[in-house]
Structure 1
Amino acid sequence: MALRETDPPEVGGYRIEDRLGSGGMGVVYLARSASGRRLALKVVHAQYADDDEFRTRFRREVAAARQVSGAFTAPVVDADADAPRPWMATLYIPGEDLGTHVRRHGPLPLPKVRELAAGLAEALRDIHRAGMVHRDLKPANVMLAEDGPRVIDFGISRATEFAAQEVLTQTGRVMGTPPYMSPEQFSSPQDVGPAADVFSLGSVVAYAATGHGPFDSPSPYETAVRVVDGDAELDDVPPELLPFIRLCLEKHPKSRPTPDELLLLLRDGHVPEPRPLPTPAAEETRPVRRPKRRRRLWLATALGAALLTAVTATTVAVTGGDETAPGDLPTGWQAWHKSSKDPSVDKEPVGPSNPFNRCAATGRSLVCAGDDVMATRFALADGRNTWARPIDETADDLGASTGGTIIAAHSGRVYVYGADDRPIGHDGMSLTRYTVQALEAESGKVIWKTVTGDGPAASEPGTDSIAIPAGVVATYGDESQYYALLGADDGKVRWKRPLPDPDEQPCMLRGAAGHAYLICTLYTGSDITGTSVTQLAPTTGRPSWTVKAKGGDLDLVGQTDGRLVLVGWTGNHRTVTLINAKSHVLTTVRLSPAQPEEASVHLVDRTLYFILEGGSVRAVDPSTGRQLWKTDSTVERSSRPTASGTRLYLASPSGRLAAIDLRTGKVVATSPGRDDGTLLDTPSYVNAPPVLVGDALYVAYGRRSVYTVDVRDL
């Protein structure tokens, strides 16, 4: 990589010869000492240089890094924490990093993966003996040297912990790369210890064996949810490696083996009996996934012969069940169909008339909302409806709302909203107080409840509320004149920012890939001239960047391959607008053929689906605009689709279900409706997307009802 004019000729007396790369923390140069020894010299970005706390941590971590032997790492040669821009020099390790090698040449053969696993376990053993935790073990930090793998970039990991700019928790101060981080790095970063590196080791070894990480997802937010609350995708892993990787990827840190135990497993094929988990009193207070009991595992080929079929839910608010592996069913699962109890507080409840509009799975719970239900819980296994809450908790409910929705659900909790109506005077008028709430999915207990607006000018926070790792971004204020971040742990307002005047510039809150966006219509006089897309900084709410696009009717439908995808909502769909989330370059892609105006548009994984009310489905590649296939799903008034690794699932308000082959568009299975004639035949009803947990598919239908099927039996 060629040097730039701004690169220094030397740093700390070491001559700079080449630029090896750059990242979020600094620039890495190839340097040479006076004796001719080649070094990898990392110069920290200026933004960290002004942070005294960073310098103190940097100094301490460099001292610790010097204690690591260097047999399995890149030993520290020199460093200066007091330089205008702190730097550290390690011995240069020639060769490719693991990520580059796999991208160029494909997954490693099994013997090489075993050697890699052993070498990384030895490296972690050395690092942990020195009292360090790497915290960012990933393919890019593993060098494939001639004498075995070497772990790099471990000397600065803890120093940058409190200077990181990427927001992955409520405070925005967690170090790591989401697909290779451990659950505790998301849920309890202050408690991260050596076991976090073991979890990352399992992800890295899985990547080396398959070419993809076990928790890969287009969105950092969805990746975090999968790491904390989901199951690893290991269907391509050789059976001989499954015991090793599964042990590393245990959700609870105390269930994971030490590096010494991993080396014993690789050598002899067995490990000691598992250590007991902490008692409930010692568990973290944040709801986390309860791990499966760790069993004694053996490397014998016969025990690892069965591979799991990986399936993942793609709906934003949906996560996999805590006790379910990909290709499996929730513990104790049986086919069921249930209706929710009526949570109405009216003296004369009207009774339900609509399907749920959103359901989500977390832990052992399926939580649904809509039709005046704030949230109700079904057990994933047998459908027991254990609790239900109305959207209006007041006894003198005047509302006839069909509102309610799931904003997001993960880590055993669900975010919803409430709308309490209070009568004023005797003319039938009422005021509404809107709230966003966090509930325990298992019990329905309110964790926190925050008022977002109170009065006739306040707006419902449901459809415009966006879940990001730091909490919920929602409209705020008695006139909905702000947008605000409600912290994930306590619901307190972390920041609030004014919205543009809706008469001059109407805006919508939208979410994609763990970020919140403001999508605004631009006017020149009375003419609509364009749409502005603004990413909101999660730590402040201020604009991180803004891109203006032609066309004043664009809406954000999601992100794929690092690009935001926007489509128009009036007229035939002739183009798709793509915005690179890093470079902010805007591209307009022409659709071939154009798609009908009346189609609903959904981005699922890397594909746009245009769905007509009569059941027609068209799959389009957003990067080329080319129609991949067209089919008649036989499902009228379909929900948003849900995808597994091979199929697309659609459901109607009456519960009719269709499974479509993702590659060919062929309808491979259908299931008849189940509403028993109780659902009114009106096109206004929109039912929840199906929820996929392993091989169990949950379908909302009819009047506040849900049924579940094993997709292998369709």
Structure 2
Amino acid sequence: MALRETDPAEVGGYRIEDRLGSGGMGVVYLARSASGRRLAVKVVHAQYADDDEFRTRFRREVAAARQVSGAFTAPVVDADADASRPWMATLYIPGEDLGTHVRRHGPLPPPQLRELAAGLAEAIRDIHRAGMVHRDLKPANVMLAEDGPRVIDFGISRATELAAADVLTQTGRVMGTPPFMSPEQFSSPQDVGPAADVFSLGSVVAYAATGHGPFDSPSPYETAVRVVDGDAELDGVPPELLPFVQFCLEKHPKSRPSPDELLHLLREGELPDPRPAAAPAPAADAPRAPRARRRRRLLLASALGALLLTAATALTVLAVDSEPAPSAGDLPAGWQEWHKKSKDPNVDEDPIDADGPFSRCAATGRSLVCAGDDVMATRFALADGSNTWARPIDDTPDELGSGDLGTVIAARGGRAYVYGADDRTEGDANPSRYTVQALDADTGKVIWKTVTGDGQEATEPNSEQGYSVAVPEGVVAVYGAKGQQYALLDADTGEVRWKRPLPDPDSRICLLRSAAGNAYLVCQKWTDDNVTGTSFTQLDPADGRPRWTVTVAKDQDVVGQADGRLVVLNTTGTRRTITLINAASHIVTTVRMSEPQPESATPTLLNGTLYVTFPSGSVRAVAPDSGRRLWESNSTVESPGLPIASASHLYLASPSGRLAALNVRTGAVEATLQGRDDGGTADSSAPGAPPTLVGDALYVPYGIRSVYTVDMHTLRA
């Protein structure tokens, strides 16, 4: 590939001879050292060079990559994370990459295919022994050298020992190449471990055997669906390698073999005994056995949201309605401080093993209704925390069971609007019937229940994932057997008042959003694998037709509305600008932020101020109309969930319930409260539900399905 005029003559003292290629992270050059050794030098794109957080991550990962020195990888020779454009040099491996070879010559013959499978298993074994996860194993990153395959490009790898608590890890960011990604890379990227590389290994070997990936689809949307919840297309994989590929492509990470087990399989024709505990089908009475399929549906929902946002936690839209107390400064009648844990919602059947936090809570009348971790909804009395009822997400559990789902769509007028799921088995199929339900908040009685989708391709009406929103007229939800429509369900009766088709999913990925009482359809337009623009359509509640549509460049999403204008931010990469769309005139303006906000931070719009929260506990307040930073503060709250705000204070809570109150004018931390250990520790790195404020009573979800309450004036005393 010919050099360009803008290409450097040398990098780090290494003379540039040719351009090998370019990708999302940078350009790769063929270079030569003073001694004549040929090197592959990757120079990071300029857009990342100004990001201090990127440089820190790059420096750390270069150090980790130096530890990998196996015979099936390309070792790191030199690097400079402090250069004007960071770069890394690895030993140049002559030969074609696997993708190019298959396109030119077709699938590999069985002997070469077996050699490839063994070489890649050894490569990822070496990578994992060095404490790393590659996370982007794909045909383009496999070089077919004369002495066997070599794995290259550790550009998005991560040191596994730092994965759990690393504040630099970009929570929720989707990193990888969709056709070769694992299910968990779409849903919880922060938790991706070595098993993700094993899944990618299976996909790469299948590609080498057939000339196509096992989950190839025309659009990123369909690819995500197939990776997370679909069957792999393995026609053409030689019978002797079929078990190898199938074991790699197990949906649950704990069901996949290790690289050593895969090498044993290639040598002996079977996996070593005993297999890991998670791999066999557990006994019917095992407490955690029923969760696998519902977890896959959670992954599917997250994958679709991730593909639209590209980063699952990139933007935050608080779409849940919750009624405040009649007047600020009051406590609910009979209020006292309390802390409670929800009862098991499935007491009449096999108990559900609780291990997660609530995802949303909302208040109405005398009730706080919460949902999440298998709980469709549960009610705590605002006054004393009495947990009077709880309903499971799946009303008819079977051997497939349920998973970490459930969220409150809205709570108002004494009702809680939630969604339900009904798993069942029909022959070899496992379809689900999804419903939106209105529950009496005091009693839990079902007022109405409307089916929104029925079948294997139905879409879960989960507001967390952007598939339902509350508006004054009712609930707008994705609708139909294949989730190809959206419909308004009447708030009082649940009747479908209208339904409209969604845009073509082959070229657009759409989610429902709400702001200032209006429903919006936010659609990203895809060309090949790139987002070329995002449209924002306000829906008419009378018939669902577009009132107006505005299209902006690149991938963006709604954060909320302030002063009559939608506040819109990009969903991937460093955020440098704010886009404002006037909801009345539809005029679009863009303001530059006084300082860039990294993708790892989570923006939330509250009371007309944009708050940017960091995993470390830092908070920035930004004026959305000017982009000016108002203040920055350290809340002292680790891994905070979404904040809430009163007229005077911003409240943040950690997964353990540690609480901080910050002055909204100055950012000063005016009160803190230690976390609690009586709620248990949730088996999840994701923050739980944000606090709920009812008058002067603050309700803080924490731990496993637990809530405590505190008088915010006493807290600040």
Cα distance, 1:413–1:681 mapped onto 2, change above 3 Å:
closer
In 2: Cα distance, 1:450 partner to 1:538 partner = 18
Tell me the SS of whatever aligns to 1:610: strand
Cα distance, 1:502–1:571 mapped onto 2, change above 3 Å:
same
User: What one-letter code is carried by the residue in structure 1 that aligns with 2:386?
Assistant: R
In 1: Cα distance, 2:612 partner to 2:370 partner = 25
Q: 2:547 aligns with which of 531, 544, 557?
A: 544
Task: Provide the residue aligned with 1:580 in structure 2.
Answer: 582
In 2: Cα distance, 1:489 partner to 1:646 partner = 35
In 2: Cα distance, 1:632 partner to 1:653 partner = 17
In 2: Cα distance, 1:399 partner to 1:590 partner = 49
Q: 1:500 aligns with which of 484, 499, 503?
A: 503
In 2: Cα distance, 1:514 partner to 1:396 partner = 38
Deviations 1:44-94 (A, max 9, x none): xxxxxxxxxxxxxxxxxxxxxxxxxxxxxxxxxxxxxxxxxxxxxxxxxxx
Task: Provide the residue aligned with 2:460 in structure 1.
Answer: 460
Tell me the SS of whatever aligns to 1:713: helix
Task: Provide the residue aligned with 1:648 in structure 2.
Answer: 650
User: What one-letter code is carried by the residue in structure 2 that aligns with 1:481?
Assistant: Q
Cα distance, 1:488–1:682 mapped onto 2, change above 3 Å:
closer
Tell me the SS of whatever aligns to 1:603: strand
Offset of residue 588 of structure 1: 1.1
- Gaps (5+ residues) in structure 1? 1-313
User: What one-letter code is carried by the residue in structure 2 that aligns with 1:494?
Assistant: R
User: What one-letter code is carried by the residue in structure 1 that aligns with 2:519?
Assistant: A
Q: Is the 8 A contact 1:357 1:369 kept in 2?
A: yes
Task: Provide the residue aligned with 2:708 in structure 1.
Answer: 707
Task: Provide the residue aligned with 1:693 in structure 2.
Answer: 694
Task: Provide the residue aligned with 2:253 in structure 1.
Answer: none
Tell me the SS of whatever aligns to 1:584: coil
User: What one-letter code is carried by the residue in structure 2 that aligns with 1:633?
Assistant: S
Matched, 1:596 2:601: no
Q: Is the 8 A contact 2:510 2:523 kept in 1?
A: yes
Task: Provide the residue aligned with 1:422 in structure 2.
Answer: 424
Q: Is the 8 A contact 1:318 1:362 kept in 2?
A: no
Task: Provide the residue aligned with 2:638 in structure 1.
Answer: 636
Task: Provide the residue aligned with 1:396 in structure 2.
Answer: 398
Q: Is the 8 A contact 2:397 2:423 kept in 1?
A: no
Q: 1:327 aligns with which of 318, 326, 329?
A: 329
Task: Provide the residue aligned with 1:488 in structure 2.
Answer: 491
Q: Is the 8 A contact 2:320 2:411 kept in 1?
A: yes
Tell me the SS of whatever aligns to 2:405: coil
Cα distance, 1:525–1:636 mapped onto 2, change above 3 Å:
same
Offset of residue 395 of structure 1: 3.9
Q: 1:476 aligns with which of 479, 499, 504?
A: 479
Deviations 1:245-300 (A, max 9, x none): xxxxxxxxxxxxxxxxxxxxxxxxxxxxxxxxxxxxxxxxxxxxxxxxxxxxxxxx
Alpha-carbon RMSD across the aligned residues, in angstroms, is 1.7
Offset of residue 400 of structure 1: 3.7
Tell me the SS of whatever aligns to 2:408: coil
Q: Is the 8 A contact 1:639 1:650 kept in 2?
A: yes
Matched, 1:450 2:450: yes
Q: 1:559 aligns with which of 561, 586, 598?
A: 561
Offset of residue 589 of structure 1: 1.3
Q: Is the 8 A contact 1:345 1:395 kept in 2?
A: no
TM-score computed with the length of structure 2 as normaliser = 0.54
In 1: Cα distance, 2:682 partner to 2:388 partner = 27
In 2: Cα distance, 1:681 partner to 1:402 partner = 11
Q: 1:533 aligns with which of 536, 544, 549?
A: 536
Cα distance, 1:382–1:677 mapped onto 2, change above 3 Å:
closer
Task: Provide the residue aligned with 2:612 in structure 1.
Answer: 610
Cα distance, 1:692–1:315 mapped onto 2, change above 3 Å:
farther
User: What one-letter code is carried by the residue in structure 2 that aligns with 1:413?
Assistant: R
Q: Is the 8 A contact 2:358 2:689 kept in 1?
A: yes
User: What one-letter code is carried by the residue in structure 2 that aligns with 1:699?
Assistant: V
TM-score computed with the length of structure 1 as normaliser = 0.54
Identify which range, 632-641 or 468-477, moves more after superposition.
632-641
Task: Provide the residue aligned with 1:31 in structure 2.
Answer: none
Offset of residue 397 of structure 1: 5.7
In 1: Cα distance, 2:329 partner to 2:399 partner = 44
Offset of residue 557 of structure 1: 1.1
Offset of residue 631 of structure 1: 1.0
Q: Is the 8 A contact 1:374 1:417 kept in 2?
A: yes
In 2: Cα distance, 1:713 partner to 1:470 partner = 38
Cα distance, 1:694–1:315 mapped onto 2, change above 3 Å:
farther
Offset of residue 321 of structure 1: 5.2
Task: Provide the residue aligned with 2:409 in structure 1.
Answer: 407
Task: Provide the residue aligned with 1:361 in structure 2.
Answer: 363
Q: Is the 8 A contact 2:407 2:418 kept in 1?
A: yes
Q: Is the 8 A contact 1:345 1:394 kept in 2?
A: no
Q: Is the 8 A contact 1:337 1:706 kept in 2?
A: yes
Offset of residue 576 of structure 1: 1.1
Q: Is the 8 A contact 2:352 2:374 kept in 1?
A: no
Q: Is the 8 A contact 2:679 2:705 kept in 1?
A: no
In 2: Cα distance, 1:380 partner to 1:491 partner = 27
Deviations 1:155-198 (A, max 9, x none): xxxxxxxxxxxxxxxxxxxxxxxxxxxxxxxxxxxxxxxxxxxx
Tell me the SS of whatever aligns to 1:582: coil
Cα distance, 1:522–1:342 mapped onto 2, change above 3 Å:
same
**Total equivalences in the alignment:** 396
Offset of residue 361 of structure 1: 0.7
In 1: Cα distance, 2:559 partner to 2:411 partner = 20
Deviations 1:557-612 (A, max 9, x none): 11110000111111011111110000000011111100111011111111111111
In the TM superposition, structure 1's runs of 4+ consecutive aligned residues that sit over 4 Å from their partners are none
Tell me the SS of whatever aligns to 1:712: helix
